[in-house]
Chain A
Amino acid sequence: QKEVEQDPGPLSVPEGAIVSLNCTYSNSAFQYFMWYRQYSRKGPELLMYTYSSGNKEDGRFTAQVDKSSKYISLFIRDSQPSDSATYLCAMGTSYDKVIFGPGTSLSVIP
């Protein structure tokens, strides 16, 4: 079993839809959780960073962490064609390397 699992997609949604992206993990020691967006032929771009459980909102993006279920989510409201990219979850502890999920490919259709 991989440490971090993520549905690779591809996920295709109409413009304006709410998108839900999810990751599950096995290491209960993870405390820090990140979401990155990566456009084709570019480096990943940090979208959200959260510590421990709970929700964090930034504009159209909401990150949710449920440590009891070892499950994290990223919600995108009012999705736009410019949101079409690969979304990577990442997580780690304060003393070890960051582990990335394999990424979910998202297409938002105008």
Chain B
Amino acid sequence: KAGVTQTPRYLIKTRGQQVTLSCSPISGHRSVSWYQQTPGQGLQFLFEYFSETQRNKGNFPGRFSGRQFSNSRSEMNVSTLELGDSALYLCASSVAGGPYEQYFGPGTRLTVT
């Protein structure tokens, strides 16, 4: 079974721009969660989508948004990029969501200059 895939793998953007990241979950998984990972803050939860509905949300500003499509693929968008948004963005999929077994993709490394 193919794992979680994320595109693009690397991205360089300028402050003020917006960016869209994509995540394709493992086949049969209906939940997708997004995380931001930085050296200082570690892995921080952004949001979780299950069957196209946002089920949980972390403590991030409204510039961070996401959506899930009927095939369970998910996108996250960050508008008005700031230097502090530079991070590894990871998505994880699971069958049912919540704290159950989550499988991570390789991440998208975003650099904001």
Give chain A's interface residues, CB within 8 Å of chain B: 31-32, 34, 36, 42-46, 49, 88, 90-103
| Contacts of B75-113 to chain A: CB distance below 8 A | 90, 92, 98-107
Q: How far is the CB of A99 from chain B (nearest CB, A)?
A: 8
Q: How far is the CA of A90 from the CA of B42 in the complex (A)?
A: 12
Q: Mark B12-28, 1 if CB is under 8 A from A, else 0.
A: 00000000000000000
Q: How far is the CB of A38 from chain B (nearest CB, A)?
A: 8
Tell me the dominant secondary structure on chain B's binding face: strand
Interface presence of B64 (CB below 8 A): no
Centre residue among B43, B45, B92, B99 by max chain A CB count within 10 A: B99
Asked whether A32 lies within 8 Å of B100 as measured between CB atoms, the reply is yes
Q: How far is the CA of A46 from the CA of B44 in the complex (A)?
A: 17
Q: How far is the CB of A11 from chain B (nearest CB, A)?
A: 17
Interface residues on chain B, number (Cβ under 8 Å): 22
Q: How far is the CB of A104 from chain B (nearest CB, A)?
A: 11
Closest chain B residue, CB of each to CB of A99: B45
Asked whether A43 lies within 8 Å of B48 as measured between CB atoms, the reply is no
- Residue A43 contacts which of B56, B58, B98, B107 (CB distance < 8 angstroms)? B107
Contacts of A31 in B (CB 8 A): 99
Asked whether B45 lies within 8 Å of A98 as measured between CB atoms, the reply is yes
Asked whether A103 lies within 8 Å of B48 as measured between CB atoms, the reply is no
Q: How far is the CA of A77 from the CA of B65 in the complex (A)?
A: 42
Asked whether A43 lies within 8 Å of B106 as measured between CB atoms, the reply is yes
Given known contacts A44-B43, A44-B90, A100-B43, A92 and B99 CB-to-CB distance under 8 angstroms: yes
